[in-house]
Amino acid sequence: MVMAVESESDGPRDLPEGWAWTALGLVAPVNPSTSFDDLSPSTNIPFIPMAAVAEETGKIDLSARRPLNEVSKGYVRFMEGDVIFAKITPCMENGKVAPVFGLPGGYAAGSTEFHVFRFHSP
């Protein structure tokens, strides 16, 4: 897939043929809104603290659960198919990035230290 860029020199290095530099926000929404409106307030959903994401492998420990009414405010919301990415150092430098798959019920909440990228349509 080739994305539009303003000029050939927008990136810091050469890319393979057919690739182009672009802003991430043009490829996927960054920190998109995720509605929990269709879920009951008493529903237990996965809660993902930073420690639940393995460095470099992206494996997520989905064992922690919290009632929706406890995490509906003050936490990052995401859904099946999103990608979560640590926004602080040293977690970012340690490779705390993960595709979100296998969520029971399709939704989760987690640390405010994550950026969320949505490369799919909800």
Position 10 scores a pLDDT of: 54
Domain with CATH 3.90.220.20 in the chain: 31-117
Is domain 31-117 in CATH 3.40.50.2300, yes or no? no
- Report yes or no on whether pTM surpasses 0.85: no
- How does residue 121 score in pLDDT terms, banded at 50, 70 and 90? confident
**Is 50 exceeded by the pLDDT of residue 79?**
yes
Tens digits of per-residue pLDDT, 6-48?
555 555 678 899 988 888 888 899 999 999 999 998 899 999 9
Instruction: Provide mean pLDDT across the span 106-115.
Output: 96
Close Cβ partners of 119 (under 8 Å, ≥ 6 residues apart) = 27, 28, 81, 82, 83
